[in-house]
């Protein structure tokens, strides 16, 4: 029987936008936001576009680089591809962080 000391604490997913250079994790969910606010003139949601390029639940992510000052955009490796994302876009991706 497992004791509380043997169990890892459950940590809630965080937004990809809050991660920093070197952080790694696994995509848990991509939020579908209101396209009037978060989409473009074609009304395609950012969430849908992120899923289309590979940000799907279970996929590994790694923050490769951040532009300074401000850290925006950020370079994110998803699978074997690196994408530049604005933090506004990355806010839609929820990630379970790897243990440090």
pLDDT value at position 67? 87
- In a domain? residue 10: no
Residue 4 confidence (pLDDT): 59
Q: What is the CATH number of the domain that holds 55?
A: 2.30.30.90
The segments of the chain whose pLDDT lies below 70 read 1-10, 33-44
pLDDT recorded at residue 48: 84
Q: Is residue 2 part of a domain?
A: no
Asked, for residue 1, whether it belongs to a domain, the answer is no
Residue 60 lies in a domain: yes
Supply the pLDDT for residue 69.
78
- 56 lies in which domain range? 20-97
Q: What is the pLDDT at residue 37?
A: 47
Give the DSSP H/E element, type plus range, for residue 35: helix 35-38
**83 occurs within a structural domain:** yes
42 domain residue, yes or no: yes
Judge whether 13 lies within some domain. no
3-state secondary structure of 14: strand
pLDDT of residue 7: 61
Domain count, the chain: 1
d(CA 15, CA 31): 10
């Amino acid at each position: 029987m497992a004791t509380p000391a043997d169990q890892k604490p459950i940590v809630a997913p965080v937004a990809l936008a809050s991660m920093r250079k070197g952080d790694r994790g696994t995509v848990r969910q991509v939020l579908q936001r209101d396209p009037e606010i978060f989409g473009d003139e074609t009304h395609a949601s950012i969430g849908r576009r992120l899923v289309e390029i590979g940000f799907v639940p279970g996929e590994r992510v790694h923050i490769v680089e951040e532009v300074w000052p401000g850290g925006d955009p950020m370079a994110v490796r998803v699978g074997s591809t690196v994408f530049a994302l604005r933090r506004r876009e990355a806010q839609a991706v929820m990630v379970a962080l790897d243990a440090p």
